[in-house]
Amino acid sequence: MLKKSLLALIFISTIFSLTGFAQTDELLEIISVDACDCIKKIPQDVDQESFGTKFEVCLTDYFNENAEMLSLYSESIDGDLDLSELGEEFGTKLGKKLINSCPIFLERITSMQEKAGSDFYEEMLEGNRLIQTQGCKAANEVYSKIINANDQVPDSTLATTYNNRGYCKTQLGDYYGSISDLSKSIEIIPNFVLAHNNRGEAKRYLGDYKSSIDDYTKALEISPQNLTAYNGRGMSYYYNREYEKAQLDYERALQIDSTIGNIYFNLGLLFSSQSEYVESLRYFKKAYNLNPDITDLSYYTAEVYTELELYNEAIATLLADSLTQFDQYNLNDVGANYYYLNKYDSALAYYDKSLKIDDSNYYTYLLRAYAYQDNGAHELAISEFDISISLDSTQFESIYYRGYSTYLLENYEEAIQFYNKAIEIDSSQPEAFDFRARAKFKSENFKGAVDDFSSSLDLYPNDPNIYKERGEAYLKLEDKTKACADFSLAEQLGIEDEEEKELLESLISENCSDD
């Protein structure tokens, strides 16, 4: 007796070898009719193992009873037939033949598979329910139990379980594990659209946008009207900065279903990233009408309002979101919009609320410092800048603006020290050289001022005010030739401020007129 039933050999193609049979197609035609008769004789209520055993006995008897006839098709049959002489190719062909020519065969094996697989299917459904009640970690324990029973699980249930576990691994941040599971699901059922979509999502989270796009494209080949695939591929195109393709996919998704708020939200993000704020706002408003609870919708809508200088609308949008009171980023944005309206006390009040959530964020202290600074409270601003710098000493803005408040308080040597640090962090900012030059000028280090103004002009050579200021430093060094050259360049470029313009004219008149 073989280790596996003949039914298993036929259906899942395991241990037969076709050695000895020269005319397999003719043999299949002959034996498939009698094999079907064998199936009809087996009682309806037997389990899969008994069914296989009875089928094997019946077919063995058939081979032995017809050995003389079968010898015409075999080079090796001599005496009683051992079914181990047959093999997986023969088993596969016989199975396919029976499926096409013996309806009761397909009916019986389908029924038995459903019965055998029903327990695994119910376990899988329980795993699905656990996602909602206890989360993906608990669900994956159930899915893993099913997967470990691999050989006993029907393909459809096994593929779905791999897919579900892969989805959960994505939710848990295990993207490589997710891709492995989803790939196994696709191996079992190559046209499993959901698994292709889920694998595309996992790859997108890894930043593998090209491969993610390939998965979504395959899903659309299988299911051309699949909204999830269009939206998912659109997101991958968006992150890959292929904006036109992203927009096209989002629009195709909306042609399938125009009531999905998330797709309008994605289009809003797309246009916002390209600084097309009016169009972005139009899509965000549509998203609000369909699903106002989309994560971060209020945040990004407020950002667009801010870019459009509609600060009150930005504030209203953020405060209409009940979660804002618990979200540090939203609270900071409320404060920032009050700041843009020059309502510094209101800005500070929301920054205070933000700090109650997290008092270790350097950026919130920086925002508070800006509010104090622009309101003229430089001592208070310096205190906030110092806290910000203590939390993160690598940020150019905190150090640069700390130097600015110090400069306005006329502590020039101290200001120079902060500008030194700022320039060490980022030497590409001309403003840092400008203010260090001014501090040096106030400290009567005129040569140092000229050097810093020159460094600033190397970075941005079209600033008439800096030419004027460098010219003034040259005057202090008694170099009228260079001073007048700078004054001339400042005049050519054109100073906009009327007071500074009059000062430049006076400097030229007093120092650069021909004798």
Question: Distance between CA 400 and CA 428 in Å, rounded?
Answer: 13
CA dihedral angle for residue 143, residue 148, residue 150, residue 154, rounded to 10 degrees: -30
Q: In the structure, what pLDDT confidence band is assigned to residue 62 with cuts at 50, 70 and 90?
A: confident
Mean per-residue pLDDT of the chain: 87
Q: Are 104 and 36 in contact (CB under 8 A)?
A: yes
Q: Average of pLDDT values for 391-408? A: 97
Q: Are 22 and 5 in contact (CB under 8 A)?
A: no
Q: Are 448 and 437 in contact (CB under 8 A)?
A: yes
Q: Name every residue whose Cβ is closer than 8 Å to that of residue 187 and which is 6 or more positions away in sequence.
A: none
Mark out the alpha helices in 191-276 (DSSP H runs): 193-205, 209-222, 227-239, 243-256, 261-273
User: In the chain, what are the helix, strand and coil shares in percent, each to the nearest 5?
Assistant: 80, 0, 20
| Residue 5, pLDDT score | 38
321-325: long-range contacts, CB 8 A cutoff, minimum separation 24: 323/298, 324/298, 325/353
Q: In the structure, what pLDDT confidence band is assigned to residue 13 with cuts at 50, 70 and 90?
A: very low
Q: In the structure, what pLDDT confidence band is assigned to residue 117 with cuts at 50, 70 and 90?
A: low
Q: DSSP letter for 74, please.
A: B
Q: DSSP letter for 410, please.
A: T
Q: Average of pLDDT values for 205-222? A: 97
CA dihedral angle for residue 182, residue 184, residue 188, residue 194, rounded to 10 degrees: 0
Per DSSP, the three-state class of 21 is strand
Q: In the structure, what pLDDT confidence band is assigned to residue 291 with cuts at 50, 70 and 90?
A: very high
Read off φ and ψ for residue 74, nearest 5 degrees: -130, 145
- Per residue in 417-455, pLDDT (tens digit) is 999 999 999 999 999 999 999 999 999 999 999 999 999
Q: In the structure, what pLDDT confidence band is assigned to residue 140 with cuts at 50, 70 and 90?
A: very high
DSSP string for 472-500: HHHHHTT-HHHHHHHHHHHHHH---SHHH
Tell me the percentage of the chain whose pLDDT exceeds 90. Answer: 73
- Per residue in 191-205, pLDDT (tens digit) is 999 999 999 999 999
Geometric angle at alpha carbon 296, from 292 and 300, rounded to 5°: 100
| Residue 111, pLDDT score | 63
What are 323's two structure tokens?
A: 């979660």
Q: How many other CB atoms are there within 10 angstroms of residue 509's CB atom?
A: 9
| Residue 234, pLDDT score | 98
- Who wins on pLDDT, 33 or 467? 467
Q: Are 104 and 39 in contact (CB under 8 A)?
A: yes
Question: Distance between CA 466 and CA 488 in Å, rounded?
Answer: 12
Read off φ and ψ for residue 496, nearest 5 degrees: -80, -40
Sign of CA pseudo-dihedral 369, 373, 374, 376 = positive
| Residue 6, pLDDT score | 39
For the chain, state the CA radius of gyration. Answer: 39
Q: 């989805």: which residue's tokens? A: 167
Question: Distance between CA 238 and CA 268 in Å, rounded?
Answer: 12
User: Which of 81-85, 92-96, 204-208 shows the highest mean pLDDT?
Assistant: 204-208
What are 354's two structure tokens?
A: 């933000």
Q: 């088993």: which residue's tokens? A: 91
At 404, the amino acid letter reads Y
Q: Average of pLDDT values for 167-182? A: 97
Question: Distance between CA 306 and CA 314 in Å, rounded?
Answer: 6
* b (16+ CB within 10 A) / e for 1-29: ebeebbbbbbbebeebebeebeeeeebbe
Q: DSSP letter for 268, please.
A: H
| Residue 47, pLDDT score | 65
- Who wins on pLDDT, 279 or 122? 279
- Per residue in 94-111, pLDDT (tens digit) is 766 776 777 777 666 666
Geometric angle at alpha carbon 222, from 221 and 227, rounded to 5°: 85
Q: Are 158 and 181 in contact (CB under 8 A)?
A: no
Among 17-26, 36-45, 67-76, name the one with the lowest average pLDDT: 17-26
| Residue 122, pLDDT score | 86
Q: Average of pLDDT values for 130-156? A: 90
Given a cut of 70, is residue 280 above it in pLDDT? yes
Q: In the structure, what pLDDT confidence band is assigned to residue 154 with cuts at 50, 70 and 90?
A: confident
Given a cut of 60, is residue 269 above it in pLDDT? yes
What are 361's two structure tokens?
A: 């964020």
Q: Give the predicted TM-score (pTM) of the model.
A: 0.71
At 11, the amino acid letter reads F
- Who wins on pLDDT, 89 or 339? 339
- Per residue in 360-379, pLDDT (tens digit) is 999 999 999 999 999 999 99
Q: Average of pLDDT values for 397-405? A: 98
